[in-house]
Amino acid sequence: MNESKKPPKYKDNPLNKRLRELVNTKDITALAEHLGVTAEAIRQWIGGYARPDIDRLADIATCFNTTIAFLFGETECKSPDNLTRIVCETYGLSERSLEIIKHNNGLGDLVSSLIILATSDSDHRVNEFIKLFGQLSMFNT
């Protein structure tokens, strides 16, 4: 069988899907130069025909300002910031929602509270979240 006719080995792999999404936002040639690989290697990763070497994963994550966990589909939070990831995952917020909350007047304390709650014990978190949800709801009216 001709090499170009082989089906992709990693087609439905989370890493392949994330790379495809991320690489679409960058120039493949410039990305290849930055990572020290060929543009064809990146095309192979995107197409699911190959995977990047494990030594390249941290460089790829840094290049896209994300984490290896995001690349492997272990989290939906692209941000490399741990607090952002914790708040998003704990409260089911998207990064975009969290940014909107941060940038609206009067909500800075609410975001700080969410961060504190996300790192506290679960019983306290539930009670406080109920209070904060009421505060957040008043901003939606």
Residue pointed to by tokens 């790829």: 60
pLDDT of residue 129: 60
pLDDT of residue 48: 86
Burial (0-12, 13-18, 19+ Cβ within 10 Å), 10: middle
Say whether pTM exceeds 0.85.
no
Each of the 141 residues of the chain gets a pLDDT tens digit; together they read 455 567 767 677 888 889 888 887 678 888 999 999 999 999 999 888 888 998 899 999 999 999 999 999 888 888 888 888 887 888 777 787 777 666 665 556 666 666 666 666 555 555 566 566 655 555 544
Q: How far apart are the first and last CA of the chain?
A: 63
18, 70 contact by CB (below 8 A): yes
9, 1 contact by CB (below 8 A): no
pLDDT of residue 37: 95
pLDDT tens for residues 10-32?
677 888 889 888 887 678 888 99
pLDDT of residue 99: 75
pLDDT of residue 27: 84
Q: What is the percentage of the chain residues whose pLDDT exceeds 90?
A: 20
Q: What is the 3-state secondary structure (H, E, C) of 43-93?
A: HHHHHCCCCCCHHHHHHHHHHCCCCHHHHCCCCCCCCCCHHHHHHHHHHCC
Q: Where are the domains of the chain?
A: 3-71, 82-139
Output DSSP code: residue 4: G
pLDDT of residue 56: 92
pLDDT of residue 88: 82
Segment (H or E) for 96: helix 95-103
pLDDT of residue 4: 57
CATH 1.10.260.40 assigned to 3-71: yes
